[in-house]
Structure formats: structure tokens, C-alpha cells
């Protein structure tokens, strides 16, 4: 384990995958301390039945495998596997996560990494579910229901705000 400091962010991807019943694993691998493990994992992911990798950048996590490294290893993993890689830029102490975001979105041609917002592992999990849903009608139907439920929640909040006013809404 290189560091578990980013697990509080990446847990959100694992929660989404669990909520949708998508099998996944959470692993931490330091590219600096265990580079052989990172290369081995990325090269063998497809043979292990992994379909999508969620990789956190700064200390990168891979999931339908969640694995951890540091610096530009999201791109390294994407270059080692034919599987889709979703990058989650993590807010570090400097630059408010913009360094992580810019590093992921500037991968060279031929090394695609899908990217979500800084610290937004929830969207990484949701994107993975949508990608898997392309080949799974039941999973896609559950994603549609999730979207409908989310819309309904927002509509209820909007109605409550309109009815009660902002002061009562904020101070129930």
C-alpha cells in the first residue's frame, strides 16, 4: 500500500458500484513502491475479467478494480490495457486539484482516459455503470430508474423551497 489517503474519495465509486450490484474490487498499489505490481495488474486486468478501470489521479485508483498510484499513472495504466479507463482527479494540497485534472485530460493521442470532475468518484462509478449497461439491459434499466429517482428528488426539493421559502427550507 502506497497510501490510503484517497480512499475517502474513491469509496464513492465503490458505493455506486455496490448499489447497482456491479462486482468490483478495491486495491491500493503504490507505483513508486510496487511498480511491478501496477504493471502486472494493468497487463492482466482483461484476463481477470475486469471490464472497466477507475483510476484516481494523484494517487490513482483503478476499479472494477480500484488501484492506487501517484502522478501520471492513470495514463500509464491506460497505455498498458485495452480496457476503458476512467480518471478521477483528486484535490491535493496544492492547486485545488487542477494539476490532477489537467494531467489526466492531456494524455497523448492514443491513450484515452475518460475524466470526471475533481474528487467526483460518484460520477466515475455512474459512468462505469452506464458503460457496462450498453451490454446489459437490466443494468441500463436500473440506471434509467436511478436518473428518474434523482430527478424526482430534485423536484420535491424545488417544491418544498417554493412552498416553504428559503428561510424555512434552510432551518426546518
pLDDT at 110 over 80: yes
* Residue-level pLDDT at 99: 81
Q: What is the pLDDT of residues 128-153, one digit of tens each?
A: 999 999 999 999 999 999 999 999 99
Task: Collapse the DSSP code of 116 into the 3-class scheme (helix H, G, I; strand E, B; otherwise coil) and give the result.
Answer: coil
Q: What is the pLDDT of residues 68-83, one digit of tens each?
A: 333 456 888 899 999 9
* Residue-level pLDDT at 65: 46
Mean pLDDT rounded to a whole number for the chain: 86
CATH of domain 4-135: 3.40.50.1970
* Residue-level pLDDT at 72: 58
- Give the domain ranges of the chain: 4-135, 137-171
* Residue-level pLDDT at 93: 66
pTM: 0.86
State how far the Cα of 101 lies from the Cα of 115, in Å rounded to an integer.
8
Amino acid at each position: 500500500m502506497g497510501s490510503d489517503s484517497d480512499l475517502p474519495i474513491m469509496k464513492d465509486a465503490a458505493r455506486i458500484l455496490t448499489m447497482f450490484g456491479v462486482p468490483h474490487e478495491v486495491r491500493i498499489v503504490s507505483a513508486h513502491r510496487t511498480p511491478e505490481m501496477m504493471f502486472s495488474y494493468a497487463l492482466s486486468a482483461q484476463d481477470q475479467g475486469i471490464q472497466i478501470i477507475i483510476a484516481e489521479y494523484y494517487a490513482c485508483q483503478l476499479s472494477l478494480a480500484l488501484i492506487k498510484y501517484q502522478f501520471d499513472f492513470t495514463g500509464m495504466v491506460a497505455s498498458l490495457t485495452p480496457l476503458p479507463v476512467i480518471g478521477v482527479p483528486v484535490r491535493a494540497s496544492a492547486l485545488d486539484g487542477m494539476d490532477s485534472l489537467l494531467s489526466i485530460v492531456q494524455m497523448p493521442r492514443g491513450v484515452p482516459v475518460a475524466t470526471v470532475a475533481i474528487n467526483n468518484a460518484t460520477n466515475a462509478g455512474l459512468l462505469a455503470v452506464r458503460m457496462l449497461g450498453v451490454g446489459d439491459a437490466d443494468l441500463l434499466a436500473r440506471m434509467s430508474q436511478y436518473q428518474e429517482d434523482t430527478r424526482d428528488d430534485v423536484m420535491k426539493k424545488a417544491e418544498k423551497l417554493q412552498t416553504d421559502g428559503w428561510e424555512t427550507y434552510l432551518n426546518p
